[in-house]
Structure formats: C-alpha cells, structure tokens
Amino acid sequence: MAINFKIDELRAFRLVVDNRAFGKAATQLNLSQSAVSQKISSLEERIGTLLLDRNSRCAPTEAGKIVYKYAVSIDASVQGAEAELAHALNEQKPWLKVAIASSSPKPMMLEPLYATLRQHPDLNVGIRTIPGREVIYAIIDESYDVGFGPFQKNMGRFLTVPMYRENRFLVASRGHPHLEALASGNVPILKQCSLVSTYLDKTEDRPYPEKIRFFFKNVWEVNDTDMRSQIMDQGLAVGYVSDEVLSGPVGEHFVRLERYDFYHLVREGGVFHLRDRLLPVVTQRLIERLTLSRREE
C-alpha cells in the first residue's frame, strides 16, 4: 500500500496527539480548529482508517500510534533540515569583520560603522578590540578583513587610508626611584627599568625589527590602558603615553624623558587591509565612508 503522506498533515496529527486537543494544536500551528480537523480527516482518508479516538480526548488508535511514531521522527528531521538550511543561508550573508586597535581614536570610526550597520541590518558582524600590533596579525592571517589602528613601519602588504597622527612620549612617574637619572638621559640606567607596553609580540612575528625594547631590562605586556598608567604612576615601569593623556589631569603625574633619542614617537594610523584580498562589498562601503568622513573634517 503506497501512501502519499503530507508533512503538514503529519505535523498537525502529532500536535493533536501531544496536546490531546484540536484547539491547542490549532493555536500552535496558527490555524483554525476546523482547518486542523480537516488535515486529520484527510490523513485518515488517505490511510484508510481512523487515527484518533475522538471520544477519548484524541487518544491515538493502534494505527494512530504507528503513524504518530513516524510523524515525530519525520517532524524532527524536517525541523533539523530547516535549522541547517537556515544556518547555511545565514553563512552566505556577507560578513563585516573589523579589528580595532585598543589605543586608536575609536570615536573617529563609529559613525561610519553605525551607518553601515543601519544600511545592512542582516549582516554577519565580527568586531574585536585588540592591541595595535595584534590587529596587524589578525589582518595578515585573514581572521579579519579590515583593521583600524596605528600603522607599523613596514606596511607594504597593505593598502592604507591614513586618518590620524598620534604623538607618544616616553615618561616616568614623579615617584620613580631612578627619576633623576632618567631625566638626565642616562642610558645605562634604562637596563634597570621595565618598559610597560600594550602588546609583547614574538620576535619572529614582527613585521619590522623593533629595537627600543632592547634598551630596557624587560618589557611588560599590559593591554589595559588604566592599569598601564597605574603601573607607571607607582614607579614600577616607564612607558609611552600620548600627548592627549599628558595634557590631561593624569599627565601631571609624569615627567617627560626628553634626553633620549627615542623619547618622541609619531604614529600615523587609519584603515588598512591586505592588498591582494578581495573584500566583501559591505566592507568596501565602510572604507569609503571612513575615507569620506576624513575628507570632510
């Protein structure tokens, strides 16, 4: 006996049995009670026997128990297929994957980012804030499509859109035990001092040979800006801070170490991505917005 089962009828039957009522099943299916009743009657007619004992709170008959068993299995398979298909279709939606340097002027990119998200509400979005040099590596290994933060010395692999310049100065707190020697530019004393930095990379991973660290006893990796400032304020280490920080209340706690050749660093930053990487259209639109916002300033 060949039976042409219909999935919607099997689902209606399962829900009637589960709820022992047509009304609750109709509510879950967003149908009228009569429509559910018609589906069950159609299924029974196709099979050629009653599947429900309507005089016993919709309990399944012996034939109904067999159909119910397979209705549960088929419904679960259909729902699983629907879920997998929805996931697959969602993965096909474009991604906006942005890595932002924690030390960058983030407000500069917020409005262009918000505008992009408003225009494309169905995007898959991945945004991460990490140390500046780590952003470089995230773009190189293609974990993210576009970065926003300070440029490194060797950016030959990247297309860059300059958006800001930042001055950073080597400082020590007024309570540093070697402040007098540091202020005089004593180079050997640096070998007794720790340098606190945002991110301590591996030598083999560096996009260019960093040499400043070699003047110090060691380098402490501290990603949190406030904690770095507090460590320096306690006289435990020296470090680089921006002119913006030095012009604020916190700047009064520090002394600029102007006698060292590497006292002043100028960092240019902005948007960058790999030259040979084909970017999603939505990512290109974000870069265009960022570039336009820079020109309008």
> How would you label 236-265 residue by residue, b for 16+ Cβ within 10 Å and e otherwise?
bbbbbbbeebbeeeebebbebbeebeeeee
| CA separation for the pair 236, 209 (Å, rounded) | 26
User: Which 8-state DSSP code applies to residue 263?
Assistant: S
- Residue of 3, 28, 32 whose CA lies nearest to 14: 28
Instruction: Provide φ and ψ at 19, rounded to 5°.
Output: -95, -10
Q: What's the chain's Rg over C-alpha atoms? A: 33
Q: Which residues contact 243 (CB under 8 A, 6 or more apart)?
A: 166, 167, 168, 169
Q: What is the pLDDT of residue 201?
A: 46
Q: How far apart are the first and last CA of the chain?
A: 77
CB 259 within 8 A of CB 185: yes
Average pLDDT of the segment spanning 169-181? 95
Q: Residue 296's pLDDT band (boundaries 50, 70, 90)?
A: low
The predicted pLDDT at position 88 comes to: 63
- Looking at per-residue pLDDT, the higher value among 159 and 5 belongs to 159
Does pLDDT of 203 surpass 60? Answer: no
- For residue 190, is pLDDT > 90? yes
Is there a common fold for 95-163+269-296 and 165-267?
A: yes
**Sign of the torsion formed by the C-alpha atoms of 49, 30, 85 and 80:** negative
| pLDDT at residue 89, rounded to an integer | 58
Burial 94-108 (b: 16+ CB within 10 A, else e): eebbbbbbbbbbeeb
Task: Look at residue 154 in the predicted model and tell me its pLDDT.
Answer: 82
| C-alpha to C-alpha distance for 72 and 78, rounded to whole angstroms | 10
CATH class of 165-267: alpha beta
Give the three-state DSSP class for 207: coil
262 Cβ contact partners less than 8 Å away, ≥ 6 residues apart = 170, 212, 215
The closest alpha carbon to 97, from 115, 131, 124, 136, belongs to 124
Task: Report, at the CATH architecture level, how domain 95-163+269-296 is classified.
Answer: 3-Layer(aba) Sandwich (3.40)
With 60 as the cut, is the pLDDT of residue 278 above it? yes
Backbone angles phi, psi at 258, to 5 degrees: -75, -10
CATH topology of domain 7-91: Arc Repressor Mutant, subunit A (1.10.10)
Q: One-letter amino acid identity for 92?
A: Q
Q: Where are the domains of the chain?
A: 7-91, 95-163+269-296, 165-267
In the chain, % of residues over pLDDT 90: 48
Q: What's the mean pLDDT in 159-173?
A: 92
pLDDT per residue over 89-142, tens digit each? 555 678 899 999 987 888 888 899 999 999 988 888 999 998 888 899 999 999
pTM of the model: 0.58
**Stretch 192-204: mean pLDDT, rounded?**
71
CA distance 147 to 103: 13
Extract the tokens encoding 106: 């983030």
Note the pLDDT of residue 204: 45
Res. 207: pLDDT tops 60? no
pLDDT (tens digit, 9 = 90+) per residue, 52-102?
988 778 899 999 899 999 889 888 888 887 777 766 655 567 889 999 998
Between 259 and 89, residue with greater pLDDT: 259
